[in-house]
Structure 1
């Protein structure tokens, strides 16, 4: 079988481009979605007694408004704190204690809000980037699930979040797997024997230390899964569905080729356009 590394000279022909919206085409949609969010944030700021009080007020709101308001809070008040961090209600008091001294004062926040045009197209464009974050990854996994069901659906069981949804937790599907390891894909035979554990990623851009961290983490996953397969005498393999122009940046392609070689036939890296050539029944059953 042709290895992933062998495709490098033709890499651009095997990359899938998932379309992004052009600026400023999406501003009308951004206004529809975010005008009311910014207005609500301004109203809450007017009622608050401090920036910490504003955060508490936002936290009391139901979702999806709360998450959107937290994104505006991060931009105006606390770029140190991630939205994921702020989402956990029970940690808000600790966040205020640990980071509150770096919050921009409420007076400054209100003055900045008042100085901005209405509607604030710049902020809405930034918030629109959050909306599309992760969507390309969802489209990638959905395309794979559709391809797999068409190619092998009657023979094998495939599990995992087709788009957004809960990951496959290896400690829940593999006997005596201790770590809470999330995966995107699990393919089994006869609803019993696990054959493939898969991880999916779409890279619009990639490089530097993030690239090094990712490939190192992937090698650890491969090592742990193949060791488990050897211990329990399972025909278990590891599959990385990776796509996007980021694969052609830096050393990424070579790093994935090296990872596939490290797996000695038990690891496969594919883009969507390689599936028909590489992701075969022979490999599934090897």
Structure 2
């Protein structure tokens, strides 16, 4: 079977492009979705006495508006804090204590709001970018599930969320597996013998330290899973379903090729277009 590395010379032919919307085509939808969010944010700014009070007040709002308001708060008040951090309501006092001195003052926030056009299309466009984050990854996994069930559905079982949903936790599906490693899917025989743990990722772009962190973390997963398979005498392998133009940037392709080599036959790196030729019954049962 050809290795992932052997596809590098014609890499662009093996990449799946999942369409993105063009700017400014999505602005009309962005106005509908986020116009009320910006209005609510401005109203809250007028009701509180400090930027810290503003964060506390936003944290009391119900979702989904709270998350959207937190995104606006981060842009106007505290770019140091991630939205994921701010989502944790019980951590708000701690966040204010640790980061509050770096919050932009409420008076400056008010002035900046007044200086912006109404509607603020630039901010709406920024917020709209959040809306599509993760969607390409969902489309990638859904396409894989459809392909797998069509190709192997009669003989093997695939477990995991085709789109959004709870990850497959290895410590929950593999007896005596100690680490809490999340996977995107698990392929097994009808008798529940685990065969393949899958990790899916769509990269529109990627580079620098993110490359190093990703591939280093994947190598650790491979090491731990192969050790478990050896100790428990199970034919467990690892599939990295990676796709998108980001694979062709920097050292990504070489890094994943090296990861496949490191797996010594127990690891496969594949794009959607490679599935028919690479993800075979022979490899599943090897």
TM over 0.5: yes
Structure 1 segments (4+ residues) deviating >3 Å: none
C-alpha displacement of 1:43? 0.4
Displacement of 1:188 in angstroms is 0.9
Range that drifts further, 78-87 or 201-210 = 201-210
Q: Which residue matches 1:285?
A: 285
The superposition leaves residues 53-98 of structure 1 with CA deviations (integer Å, 9 ceiling, x where unpaired) of: 1111110011100000000000001000000000000000000000
The answer for the alignment partner of 1:238 in structure 2 is: 238
* Alignment partner, residue 62 of structure 2: 62
Distance 1:192 1:158 in 2: 10
Residues 240 and 115 (structure 1), Cα distance of their counterparts in 2 relative to 1, 3 Å cut? same
> Displacement of 1:123 after TM fit?
0.3
SS of equivalent residue, structure 2 residue 186: strand
The aligned counterpart of 2:131 is 131
**SS of residue matched to 2:111:** helix
Q: Which residue of 1 is the match for residue 196 of structure 2?
A: 196
Superposition RMSD in Å: 0.7
Q: Which residue of 2 aligns with 1:166?
A: 166
Query: After the TM superposition, which residues 243-282 of structure 1 pair with which residues of structure 2 at under 5 Å, given as runs?
Result: 243-282=243-282
CA deviations on 1:225-264 (whole Å, 9 max, x unpaired) are: 0000000000000000000111111111111111111111
* Residues 147-191 of structure 1: CA deviation (Å, up to 9, x unaligned): 001111121111112111110001110111111110101111125
State the number of aligned residues.
Answer: 286
- Which segments of 5 or more consecutive residues in structure 1 lack a partner in the other structure? none
CA distance in 2, matches of 1:117, 1:255: 46
Partner of 2:151: 151
In structure 2, C-alpha distance between the alignment counterparts of 1:160 and 1:32, rounded to whole Å: 34
The answer for the alignment partner of 1:94 in structure 2 is: 94
Contact 1:41/1:69 (<8 A) preserved: yes
Q: 2:5 — aligned with what?
A: 5
TM-score by structure 1 length? 0.99
The residue that corresponds to 2:182 in the other structure is: 182
Scaled by the length of structure 2, what TM-score is found?
0.99
Q: How far apart, in 1, do the equivalents of 2:104 and 2:254 lie?
A: 45
Q: Is the 8 A contact 1:15 1:243 kept in 2?
A: yes
SS for the counterpart of 1:57 is: helix
